[in-house]
Structure 1
């Protein structure tokens, strides 16, 4: 039996605000990531199919604990070049209650790598094969809403899709970790967010 979860729709200012984690917080459960070469590959039509299989496994493992499972990130946008890593947002009743979802996901091969209390109580798990970043949030988290809005905007706005792809390719030469790569494309991401929020009448 699925329990009813009280949902609160975040206000516009909660969704449009760029919320940064506490810089003094150490989010790395197993230590910080090692540097790696970021490789951008052409859009692969297999990515949505891979996501569907992964989502089916996640829902089967968690049952009613999985309130929502969404394909987000660049691999969810047809035509967009990306790292060959599937990003998934998982919504649970309380992301702080790790016992309610982490053990079941570990049995699928996922490993908890990030715990960020200051960033919407975000948790992230990683799967090695295939490569997956599984982001866990509570109900109606502003960040999860932002992810879906960004995805849907890029799906329908080819000019910003191309702008974002250019930013991704320009961010590669700096090297370092994936976190460094993400920071180098942040200005373009925020530019696109500003455009989509204004189009939605949220700013």
Structure 2
């Protein structure tokens, strides 16, 4: 059942991590010219799976910024009309070969079985989408902040991480500062 009129039922209220905690090794690779091509392959796969839905698909994260070293994981954001209508997008994405990893309020994460592509699904208009795009677009334009972000990631990799969320949290202050500068630059 296609639902294009916004949320029709309550969203989930808790965080479900399918499969529980996972051991991880975080590596930072030099920018790889193949990353945009991998994104485009998955964009097509996602668009084919969601044919008929009003869905926006964007490449986000460090692999979307030419010249920036990154974990070799392609991050993609998909905006759908109704995050609670999982039958419209989640079932087709799973049928297309993605696996559900996270279900939380306002957000679903599916990924490839090899864990090298993460697809973040949000509802259209979600502020998280704007935040991802603000950071991506600023880092594409601003060499100084791109260098700062990369050096921060490199410094954090000298520490052990049991959870990807802890690593992400450790970058939060630098990301917030960069986004403040991005907002200021956008306002001028």
TM-score of the superposed pair, with normalisation by structure 2: 0.88
**CA deviation digits over 1:137-160, x for unaligned, max 9?**
111211101111110100000100
Q: How far apart are 1:31 and its partner, in Å? A: 4.4
**Distance across 1 between alignment mates of 2:68 and 2:29:** 9
Query: In the TM superposition, what are the counterparts of 1:63-142 in structure 2 within 5 Å?
Result: 63-117=51-105, 121-129=106-114, 131-142=116-127
Question: Which stretch has the larger CA shift, 84-93 or 171-180?
Answer: 171-180
The list of structure 1 runs, each at least 4 consecutive aligned residues, that deviate by more than 6 angstroms after superposition, is 2-6
Compute the RMSD of aligned alpha carbons.
2.1
Residue deviations 1:79-119 (CA, integer Å, cap 9, x gap): 000011000000111111111111111112211111221xx
The 8 Å contact of residues 5 and 82 in structure 2, kept in 1 or not, is answered as no
Alignment partners' CA distance in 2, 1:129 and 1:34: 13
* Shift in alpha-carbon separation, 1:95–1:185, aligned structure 2, 3 A: same
Query: Which sections of structure 2, spanning at least 5 residues, go unmatched?
Result: 7-12
Figure out how many residues of one structure are paired with residues of the other and give that number: 180
8 Å Cα contact 2:149-2:175 kept in structure 1: yes
Which 5+ residue runs of structure 1 have no aligned equivalent? 7-24
Is the counterpart of residue 170 in structure 1 residue 155 in structure 2? yes
1:28 CA drift (Å): 2.6
TM-score, length of structure 1 as denominator length: 0.82
Q: Deviations along 1:42-88, whole A, 9 cap, x unmatched?
A: 00000000000100011011102252100000000000000110000
Equivalent position of 1:190 in the other structure: 176
SS in 1 for 2:128: helix
Secondary structure, counterpart of 2:58 in structure 1: strand
Counterpart contact for 1:59–1:66, Cα < 8 Å = no
Q: Residue in 2 aligned with 1:11?
A: none
SS of aligned partner of 1:123: strand
| Matching residue within 154, 158, 161 for 2:143 | 158
* 2:31 paired with 1:43: yes
